[in-house]
Structure 1
């Protein structure tokens, strides 16, 4: 009979938390807490006594004996006498104050921002962040409530939504062009962390670290930027043609024992491509940048069959080195010569 009655009372209370757990309500199953019971609060934890939804006493890490002396708020709420020694009921909630790190975030949908150089852009980004509980009262009221437990996994969808809004705010007000973001990524990460921290505060959380690991454009926009970069890298078409010829010679030298015929074919192909590029870009006024009055070889370029030239220019359109408008203009000019 004594053992049966003993099981009706709780005399040891502790929590061995698992990774990713933020809060746990002790399941008493109708049993009462024995006066003088032992409460163990481990490092990085805090134990809260809650009476009818109101926060009462808080216990920091350590070993505690529960009586009226160290439960002053609960004693007052329950109107206990100083020498009260009977079993009692109360909700006990453990919280983990450990930093929850290594969490990943990413923009599920592109974030639209106004770039000072490129205009309206739709950006995607991803990275990592960490947080911990900062305000006990707010966290218990806004998150825990009457739940039996709270985990990081349960909160992540809500946190990621707040992060996406913070990113739009930070990027929109940064004033840093997209092409310069890579050089100021650390400052950008800190700017976004501040905005994320403000959003997390509504749940009693603090964002301790935030890292932007990558920011990217939609594939079609990135392709246009790459094309523009390629054209700028080409620069002087004369130099580009010489580079192509050298590449062709090296490739031919490695095939068929480096025969003269193979080398000659490579040089001819490179020269033909350079000539077609020069004629095609000349129609839009770009040819003067690299060719000048001397042409590719330093003398007047030989007259070429217009139909063959059109075919070469069409290949440039296919490669993306020449726009359709430039091709159409040059094509009309060449066809007018043979009518």
Structure 2
């Protein structure tokens, strides 16, 4: 190999990156000990952007397309270099390809429970988790703030920080919104939408864009879930501590009766059997005591014709003034039909009274 061919081999005339991975965000084009020829071809594919860095300073950013590297397409680098030897001279820069596709199905969730205040249950410990997707929105900002001068950068290098941002943002939003714990499951979409808007600014400071945020579950502690299960059961039973007690007593007696050995076979013994019977009797008595007692009908009342005192229909004399009480009815002297005391004729036979 001649000297001319060796020198020629050191000049790069085609620059491109074919991404076969799923998690590489930034890839440095291999230009170690090689210089880029002025007029070289740069190919930037869809979902990619190319960033040129010269002597630690970001110079140019290229969007998808095909470019011939010359003074027209390298305005910043051309100005910095001022090309003393003509525009055909080679140059040496660091070239980074930034993957701008959307990285999906990234998981987030609480490592430890977070404390929340609820109006009904007081202080609660909650866990939550879900998935999100993001992408690089500004390669220049992403280079300055995140990946620096690494030869390549993967999703794993940033997801830990993004996960913490999301958990903190969602928890802060829940505290501000003061949504009751029992209503959280019906507000997942609304909470996710508000959280995405809230986190947008913090993502943009890293040159990123939060494309989607999904809340899959916000769970309560096991102790609280057990209390809710009991409350739901009592709600189904209704009014009803007494009914529930009777039900439990009846279930216990049934189970004991179905056992081949009776009460003793069930392991409850005579004392326990008496206790179950007493419990059933007490529940029945309590239920009966709640029912209003039937009242005897009050006797009909009449008034004394002299003083107006209230008397029963059976009274013959007034207890207040002693006046004889005239019967309110009489019988017809002709046919025996019952008539009111003041009747002058019988309505059945017409007999004068």
1:135 matched to 2:138? The reply is yes
Which runs of 4 or more aligned residues in structure 1 lie more than 6 Å from their structure 2 counterparts after TM superposition?
241-248, 272-275
Does residue 69 (structure 1) correspond to residue 72 (structure 2)? The answer is yes
Q: Give yes or no for contact 1:240–1:274 (8 Å, CA) kept in 2.
A: no
Whole-Å separation in 2 of the counterparts to 1:85 and 1:279: 105
Q: Does residue 147 in structure 1 map to residue 150 in structure 2?
A: yes
The superposition leaves residues 219-246 of structure 1 with CA deviations (integer Å, 9 ceiling, x where unpaired) of 2232222223223322235765897899
Take 2:48 and 2:277, find their aligned partners in 1: how far apart are those partners? 71
Preserved CA contact (<8 Å) 1:35 1:85: yes
Partners of 1:163 and 1:13 in 2: how far apart?
37
Work out whether 1:233 is the aligned partner of 2:233.
no
Taking structure 1 as reference, are residues 193 and 277 closer, same or farther at Cα in structure 2, changes over 3 Å only? farther
> Offset of 1:85 from its aligned partner?
0.6
Contact 1:237 / 1:274 at 8 angstroms: preserved in 2?
no
Structure 2: give runs of 5+ residues left out of the alignment.
Answer: 267-274, 294-353
Give 1 or 2: higher helix fraction: 1
Q: 1:35 to 1:182 in 2, by over 3 A?
A: same
Q: TM-score, normalised by structure 2?
A: 0.69
Match of 1:207 in 2: 210
Indicate the larger mover: 216-225 or 173-182. Answer: 216-225
Whether the aligned pair in 1 keeps the contact of 2:112 and 2:127 (CA below 8 Å) is: yes
Per-residue Cα deviation, 1:279-335 (whole angstroms, up to 9, x for no partner): 58x9xxxx97xx35268xx9xxxxxxxxxxxxxxxxxxxxxxxxxxxxxxxxxxxxx
Question: Which residue of 1 is the match for residue 31 of structure 2?
Answer: 28
The two structures have a TM-score, normalised by structure 1, of: 0.71
Encode CA deviations 1:74-107: one digit per residue, 9 max, x unaligned: 1001112695111110111111111111111110
- Contact 2:40/2:68 (8 A) holds in 1: yes
Find the counterpart in structure 1 of residue 47 from structure 2.
44
Q: Matches of 2:243 and 2:38 in 1, distance apart?
A: 90
Matches within 5 A, 1:124-273: 124-235=127-238, 236=240
The yes-or-no answer on 1:13 pairing with 2:10 is no
Identify the structure with bigger relative contact order (alpha carbons < 8 Å, sequence gap 6+): 1
Say if 1:39 and 1:63, in contact at 8 Å, map to a contact too.
yes
CA distance in 2, matches of 1:100, 1:273: 64
Distance 1:178 1:12, change over 3 A: same
Gaps of 5+ in 1: 256-260, 266-271, 299-339
CA distance, structure 2, for counterparts of residue 238 and residue 112 of structure 1:
37
**1:56 counterpart = 2:96:** no
Give the 3 Å change call, closer, same or farther, for CA 75–112 of structure 1 in structure 2.
Answer: same
**CA 1:151–1:234: 2 relative to 1, 3 Å:** same
Secondary structure of the residue aligned to 1:19 is coil
Q: Which residue of 1 aligns with 2:325?
A: none
How many equivalent pairs are there? 279
Judging changes above 3 Å, is the alpha-carbon distance between structure 1 residues 226 and 275 closer, same or farther for their aligned structure 2 residues?
Answer: farther
**Stretch of structure 1 that moved more, 161-170 or 204-213:** 161-170
Bigger radius of gyration, 1 or 2?
2
The whole-number CA distance in structure 1 between the counterparts of 2:280 and 2:105 is 51
